[in-house]
Chain A
Amino acid sequence: EVQLVQSGAEVKKPGESLKISCKGSGYSFTSYWIGWVRQMPGKGLEWMGIIYPNDSDTRYSPSFQGQVTISADKSISTAYLQWSSLKASDTATFFCARCQLPYFPYYGMDVWGQGTTVTVSS
Chain B
Amino acid sequence: EIVLTQSPGTLSLSPGERATLSCRASQSVSSSDLAWYQQKPGQAPRLLIYGASSRATGIPDRFSGSGSGADFTLIISRLEPEDFAVYYCQQYGRSFTFGGGTKVEIK
Query: Across the interface, which residues of B come within 8 angstroms of A97, CB to CB?
Result: 44-45
Residues of A within 8 A of B (CB-CB), count? 24
**Residue of chain A at shortest CB distance from B30:** A106
**In the complex, A34 has a CB within 8 A of chain B:** no
**In the complex, B88 has a CB within 8 A of chain A:** yes
What size tier do the contact residues of chain B reach? 20 to 34
Within 8 A of B (CB), among A27-66: 35, 37, 44-47, 50, 59, 61-62
Give the docked Cα–Cα distance between A116 and B102 (Å). Answer: 23
**In the complex, B1 has a CB within 8 A of chain A:** yes
Q: Determine whether the beta carbon of B44 is less than 8 Å from that of A100.
A: no
Give the docked Cα–Cα distance between A108 and B57 (Å). Answer: 12
Q: Which of A97, A112, A114 has the most CB of B within 10 A?
A: A112
Q: Nearest chain A CB to B89's CB is how many angstroms away?
A: 10
Q: Nearest chain A CB to B64's CB is how many angstroms away?
A: 15
Q: Nearest chain B CB to A51's CB is how many angstroms away?
A: 12
Secondary structure at chain A's binding surface: helix, strand, loop or mixed?
Answer: strand
Q: Nearest chain A CB to B34's CB is how many angstroms away?
A: 9
Q: Nearest chain A CB to B59's CB is how many angstroms away?
A: 11
Interface string of A93-120 (1 = CB under 8 A from B): 0010101100001111110111100000
Given A62-B1, A100-B47: A108 in contact with B98 (beta carbons within 8 A)? no
Query: Across the interface, which residues of A come within 8 angstroms of B1, CB to CB?
Result: 61-62
**Residue of chain B at shortest CB distance from A44:** B101
**Residue of chain B at shortest CB distance from A99:** B92
Query: Across the interface, which residues of A come within 8 angstroms of B39, CB to CB?
Result: 45
Q: Nearest chain B CB to A33's CB is how many angstroms away?
A: 10
Q: Nearest chain B CB to A118's CB is how many angstroms away?
A: 16
Q: Determine whether the beta carbon of B90 is less than 8 Å from that of A95.
A: no
Which residues of B line the A interface, CB within 8 A? 1, 32-33, 35, 37, 39, 44-47, 49-51, 56-57, 86, 88, 90, 92, 95-101
